[in-house]
Amino acid sequence: MLAFAVRRIVISIPVLLLSSFIVFALGTLAGNPLAPLLAKNPPTPPNVIAAETVRLHLDEPLIPRYFSWLGGVLHGDFGPSVVSTTDIGSELASRFWVTIRLIALAMVIALVVAVVVGVISAVKQYTATDYTTTFLGFLFLAMPAFWLAILLKQAGIEFNNAVGDQVLYTIGASSIPPPPGLGAQIVDVLGHMVLPTISLALISYAAWSRFTRASMLEVMNSDYIRLARAKGLSRRTVMIKHALRTALIPLTTVTALDIASIIGGAVVTETVFQWKGMGDFLLQSIRTDDVYATSSWLLVSAVVVIAFNLIADLLYGVLDPRIRYA
């Protein structure tokens, strides 16, 4: 298993380099970070323009700039930002934990709900329960992420107005200033996560529950399931120990592939709820044509995607002994 994990990591390195280079090149060609200075009236002094050009390495060709930035990343230097007072590495580090807690909690909730709903829907195929879960699944699947987030935010505002107190938080990842005491701060952060987490989880749950249902139906019609029932095993044991374990393999694949779209959904969700996370940092970087910040954001996101795909590959061996032994 260790050799397999090392092999997967080595294979991922060229993918990581290629994706980072493409974004770096596109960001470089898409705009000029000095455009705001050039458009100022009265005009910016030429020596200021020249100094910024050197600081941002705009006087260097594309390929040397990329490798210079990549070499800096390996030493913890993510390059100069268009905003001279901004340290890209520090910004990414602080904002990463804001976003990753949202993504992790939303994925856990979505997976648990998707597995439970998918199994129940498969066991009760073509019943009222199945039709209801199918309708809800397609409803959330068809609903845009930004629209669902806006609806939940408005619902939270209306609920707070109805009870006359701040029960559901609709702005920010935490209160400013934070409440005194570690316990109060943890409760405050969790309170701010309720609506964004529900918004992100519902979009993911909708697709995953359909995959779970389809996979369970396919497994339940397999010969080894009939054999297990014929041997006298209880329905519960057959469903959980034999059917569900095999049915989770396709869901693992889909979850790993969807992590990129979940990160994209987190960008939208953070924008609606005004979180200062990775999404807000990406949008700021794009607006200011900050190539180094945008490329660094993608590099971190690509590492997360590759890590989740590696975890999925390792889970295959846990779920199916045939893969582990092979």
Q: If you average pLDDT over every residue of the chain, what do you get?
A: 85
Instruction: To the nearest 10°, report the CA torsion of 214, 220, 221, 222.
Output: 110
Question: How many Cα neighbours within 13 Å face the side chain of 21?
Answer: 13
Question: pLDDT tens-digit profile of 267-312?
Answer: 999 999 989 899 889 998 888 888 889 888 988 888 888 888 888 7
* Cα separation, 194 vs 104, whole angstroms: 13
Q: What is the pLDDT of residue 105?
A: 92
pLDDT in tens, the chain (326 residues): 667 677 777 888 888 888 888 888 888 887 788 888 887 878 888 888 888 888 888 888 889 899 988 888 888 888 888 888 888 989 998 899 999 999 999 999 999 999 999 989 988 888 999 899 989 888 888 888 889 999 999 999 998 898 888 888 888 888 888 888 888 888 888 888 999 999 999 888 888 988 889 888 888 888 877 887 788 877 777 777 778 877 888 888 888 888 888 888 889 999 999 898 998 899 988 888 888 898 889 888 888 888 888 887 777 766 666 665 45
Question: pLDDT tens-digit profile of 232-241?
Answer: 877 777 777 7
Close Cβ partners of 37 (under 8 Å, ≥ 6 residues apart):
44, 48, 49, 52
User: Can you tell me which residue has the tokens 């701010």?
Assistant: 192
Q: What is the pLDDT of residue 168?
A: 86
Taking the model in full, what pTM does it have? Answer: 0.84
Extract the tokens encoding 46: 């030429």
Extract the tokens encoding 42: 């009265």
Close Cβ partners of 301 (under 8 Å, ≥ 6 residues apart):
260, 263, 278
Q: Which long-range contacts (CB under 8 A, 24 or more apart) does 80-86 make?
A: 80/55, 80/56, 80/292, 81/290, 81/292, 81/293, 82/33, 82/56, 82/288, 82/289, 82/290, 82/293, 83/288, 83/290, 84/55, 86/293
Close Cβ partners of 272 (under 8 Å, ≥ 6 residues apart):
146, 149, 150, 153, 196, 199
Q: What is the pLDDT of residue 113?
A: 92
Extract the tokens encoding 43: 């005009």
* Cα separation, 172 vs 191, whole angstroms: 11
Extract the tokens encoding 139: 């409803």
Question: pLDDT tens-digit profile of 178-195?
Answer: 888 888 888 888 888 999
Instruction: To the nearest 10°, report the CA torsion of 274, 26, 308, 139.
Output: 50
The structural domains of the chain, ordered by start, are 91-287 (1.10.3720.10)
